[in-house]
Amino acid sequence: MKKTIKLISAACMVLLISAFTISKTGGSGGYKIGDIAEDFSLKNIDGNMVSLADYKDAKGYIVTFTCNTCPYAVMYEDRIIALDKKYAPKGYPVIAIMPNDTNIKPDDDLDAMKKRAKEKGFTFPYLIDKEQTVFPKYGATKTPHMFVLKKTKKGNVVKYIGAIDDNYKDASAVTTKYVEEAVDALLAGEEIKEKETKAIGCSIKVAKATSSVN
């Protein structure tokens, strides 16, 4: 009997450690271009659960990890709204996900998200990754962090990972709109020129014990 308990607790430890290891490698791990992104079911600010599969007519998705509290995310809010307005009618809606631990960032909790979405007039779902299980799968490390997915028979294929454009400071001075170019290419059935880009962003906030990405 004692042995069994010991075994079970050992197994639990292994599971725990591997769980930590998985989130620890969240930074460098996560989806690569060409991977199939798993669907999720996350709570929207209206209280309903949202999954990618809910969008029957979508050709793909602009999955956006963002939040209220990161100044880069705030600077890009208008551009994220513009992306949804332009591409939702073409079959690529924005799906925004707030990945931060709200104990660390209380101003990112569901109430604050509701408030911000109302103030800005978000036209897209603003979901909370409360268990913090979705962003590590994507390999999102910061806000804002964009993933463009294309719906195929095999599943939702990751086609673009990275920044929205190449000038956070001034939308009018942007020379390359990375996300728009990616979605335009997908809509035209062409190859995406830049499939991965980098930008400075706020690290996704997680409790120290479970991850080094803080």
Of 124 and 165, the one with the shorter C-beta distance to other proteins is 165
Q: Does 56 bind other proteins (CB under 8 A)?
A: no
Contact letters (x/-) for other proteins, 65-104, by CB under 8 A? ------x--------------------------------x
3-state secondary structure of 158: strand
Distances from the Cα of 213 to the Cα of 65, 99, 107, angstroms: 15, 13, 20
Cis preceding linkage at 144, omega within 30: yes
Q: Does 167 bind other proteins (CB under 8 A)?
A: yes
Q: Does 123 bind other proteins (CB under 8 A)?
A: no
- From the list 46-54, 57-65, 116-124, 202-210, the region that binds other proteins by CB under 8 A is 202-210
From CA 63, how far away is CA 94, in angstroms rounded?
Answer: 6
Distances from the Cα of 83 to the Cα of 27, 75, 94, angstroms: 26, 14, 7
**Interface with other proteins (CB under 8 A):** 27-28, 71, 104, 141-142, 145, 162-163, 166-170, 173, 178, 194, 197-205, 208, 212-214
